[in-house]
Amino acid sequence: MERATFAAGCFWGVEEAFRTLDGVQETAVGYMGGETENPTYAQVCSGETGHAEAVQLNFDPAVISYAQLLERFWAQHNPTSLNFQGLDVGSQYRSAIFYQSEEQRQVAEQSKAELVASGKYQQPVVTEITPADTFWRAEEYHQQYVLKNRPACRGL
């Protein structure tokens, strides 16, 4: 098993997009990349903790590669939006790849470079690629939120 952590806006839909992939064994939503220890949702939403809403997943690399996870990541959000996705505004909604190893960093950097070279976006890709630090699991009501509360939205 390997672990991957991504931030791409509100973590509810992002988790659902990864949770349903073959090879993804477990997902959790939480907070990463900030200064506050054990932050709450309210604290993160204030924008003052420095954390991003993130999705952490355990995956089987024999079934799905990290590069394939990155493909889903890029397709799930607008990586040219600095500190917002859709109607969600603030640094907690930034685009970020939190790598767990040097190999993940290299694959992420290559994937980002390929996206930029593709010309898909006219604006700069602002996704940060940074080492993973402590993942603070969000409150239980946020876990698998779409699955539990909005079954009509499962097709994200």
CB 14 within 8 A of CB 24: no
Closest CA to 19 of 64, 49, 50, 83: 64
Q: What are phi and psi of 107, to 5 degrees?
A: -65, -40
Active-site residue, 10 included:
yes
Task: Kindly name the residue from 7, 8, 10, 29 that is annotated as catalytic.
Answer: 10
Catalytic residues: 10
